[in-house]
Amino acid sequence: MPDPGAGTVRRIYGNLGKLLGGKAAAGILSLIYMAVAARALGPRDYGVLVLVHGFAMTVGGIVEFPGWHAIVRYGAEARATGDAPRLARLLRFAAVVEGAGGACAVLVAAVLGPLLGARLGWSPVALAFAVPYSFAVLASIRATPAGFLQLTGRFDLLGLHNIVSPVIRLAGAVVAALVGGGLHAFLIAWLVAALAEWAAMWGFGLYVARQTLEAGWSRGGLAGVRRENRAIWRFMLAANADVTLGELAGRLAPLVIGAVLGAAPAGLFAIAQRATTVIAQPAQVLGQAAYAELARLVAAGGHGRALRMAVARCLGAALVVAVPLVVGLIVFGRELVVAMAGAAFAGAAGVLVWLALARAMLLVAPPVSAALTALGRPGLSVVSNLGANLGLLPLLPLLLAQGGLAGAGWFALAQAIVTAALLIACLLHATRATVSARRTKAA
């Protein structure tokens, strides 16, 4: 009997190929601009740059309300039935909701930045630029067009979008270093890159919408969206909570380090995080490439073994890429850190080992979370992330006080182990429960 998940996995790998080119280019560019910034600013000011940007992205992650999961899930239903007006209404609805959340996020960042910055280790230069930098939050307000590009299979444009921000950051970093503009110049460069990242994604989405939807798709009301898309608010709330909680600990960790240890250790931690990002990217891209295909597999009846096998194949591909990278980082971590950022950042090598192991454990998270969301059970992923990320977060200050910067690595590994275990348990439960319920209904 043919495996219904095999075709899904082939399409996932096809989508993955389109995304990886952009991700690979973005990864190389990010290493270059990071090296320029780190050498030009030194550990303290580079740490402040990381803290300011991290604060903006954390506020955006908490306050914003992205709708790309809903667009992919409900948009697939609309496209399957050829209901273009329903899809247009769904897009307008998601754009309005995300736009409102984005405006609130910018306002919150503008108000809280000057109030909390000093406690988070910001310098006077950063505090003076806190209000303008709040607009960097817009970099994360782009889920609606991203979801539409996934739905329409335009992974080529998603891959191209990956390099927009790195290209502008690199150009800005080179100019800032050459003119000796210091932290203020780098903050301006990072802000311009964030705004370009936002504008480019919305531009790509509008371009594809004009090609694929009927004229006038952007005009009209939102009446009927809730009726046409059953439980859309509940689904969006759960999916948004899942994304927020899944990313929250990673965003909060540098801020906590800055508050407890200062800006320089936060800069060292950021270098170690960047060095180990290469491990996480295969799974993150795979999760992004997989969601639309897993949703189609579930819609076609692949709720049990087929779905589990598709996820297992995705994880296998991620492990093949990631394991050699983990070994290389553990063996040559110090040399890599010094080559990337200079001898002043050699202290990042110790925490890098722990972060590499944590990244390896978290390879399971993106594909499993995508599968749970495709099953219509994002709440299970929320529970996992809530328990592992927020539940363990109070340990971070204690571990930092006990072990210094190494404590951040201990925390990351413990959190990764708990997250992976909870997600796998939730997927096994969800697939068995869904199959059992369908058999009972059929009987």
**Statement: residue 333 has pLDDT above 90:** no
Q: What pLDDT does residue 443 have?
A: 46
Determine the average pLDDT of the residues in 166-190: 95
- Is the CA virtual torsion 133, 252, 412, 416 positive or negative? negative
Please, are residues 320 and 17 in contact by the beta-carbon 8 Å criterion?
no
Average pLDDT along the chain: 82
Determine the average pLDDT of the residues in 234-261: 78
Q: What pLDDT does residue 17 have?
A: 58
Q: What pLDDT does residue 18 have?
A: 56
**Statement: residue 63 has pLDDT above 60:** yes
Straight-line distance from the first to the last Cα atom of the chain, in angstroms, rounded to the nearest whole number? 23
Ranges assigned E (strand) in 42-144? none
Binned at pLDDT 50, 70 and 90, residue 14 comes out as low
Which of 6-15, 202-211, 274-283, 388-397 is predicted with the least confidence, judged by mean pLDDT?
Answer: 6-15
| CA angle, 171 then 253 then 312, to 5° | 90
Q: Which tokens is 319 given?
A: 């492990």
Q: What is the pLDDT of residues 350-399, one digit of tens each?
A: 899 899 888 888 888 877 877 777 777 766 777 777 777 777 888 999 99
The full DSSP string for 163-177 is: THHHHHHHHHHHHHH
Q: What is the pLDDT of residues 149-177, one digit of tens each?
A: 888 888 888 888 889 999 999 999 999 99
Q: What pLDDT does residue 53 have?
A: 93
Which of 42-46, 120-124, 231-235, 301-305 is predicted with the least confidence, judged by mean pLDDT?
Answer: 301-305
Please, are residues 337 and 352 in contact by the beta-carbon 8 Å criterion?
yes
Q: What is the pLDDT of residues 274-332, one digit of tens each?
A: 888 767 666 666 666 666 667 667 766 656 777 788 777 777 777 777 788 888 888 88
Determine the average pLDDT of the residues in 336-363: 87
- Distance (Å, whole) CA 106 – CA 131: 9
**Statement: residue 68 has pLDDT above 70:** yes
Query: How many folded domains does the chain comprise?
Result: 1
Binned at pLDDT 50, 70 and 90, residue 433 comes out as low
- Distance (Å, whole) CA 167 – CA 162: 9
Residue type, 232: I
Q: What pLDDT does residue 185 have?
A: 96
Tokens 């806190």, residue? 130
Residue 29: which domain range? 4-442
Q: What pLDDT does residue 427 have?
A: 84
Q: Which tokens is 235 given?
A: 């689904």
- Distance (Å, whole) CA 144 – CA 91: 7
- Distance (Å, whole) CA 284 – CA 191: 24
Please, are residues 192 and 168 in contact by the beta-carbon 8 Å criterion?
yes
Q: What pLDDT does residue 2 have?
A: 47
Binned at pLDDT 50, 70 and 90, residue 428 comes out as confident
% of the chain beyond a pLDDT of 90: 27
Determine the average pLDDT of the residues in 35-47: 93
Other beta carbons within 10 angstroms of residue 317's beta carbon come to 18
**Statement: residue 336 has pLDDT above 90:** no
Q: What is the pLDDT of residues 80-108, one digit of tens each?
A: 778 888 888 888 888 888 889 899 999 99
The 10 Å CB-count burial string (b at 16+, else e) for 240-266 is bbbbbbbbbbbbbbbbbbbbbbbbbbb
% of the chain beyond a pLDDT of 70: 83
Determine the average pLDDT of the residues in 18-40: 80
The 10 Å CB-count burial string (b at 16+, else e) for 41-65 is bbbbbbbbbbbbbbbbbbbbbebbb
Interhelix angle 232-260/395-403, rounded to 10 degrees, is: 20
Among candidates 220, 199, 227, 173, which has minimal Cα distance to 49? 173
- Distance (Å, whole) CA 269 – CA 46: 11
Q: What pLDDT does residue 80 have?
A: 77
**Statement: residue 141 has pLDDT above 60:** yes
pTM: 0.75
Binned at pLDDT 50, 70 and 90, residue 190 comes out as very high
Q: Which tokens is 425 given?
A: 């348990």
Q: What is the pLDDT of residues 227-247, one digit of tens each?
A: 888 778 887 777 777 667 667
Q: Which tokens is 173 given?
A: 């970093």
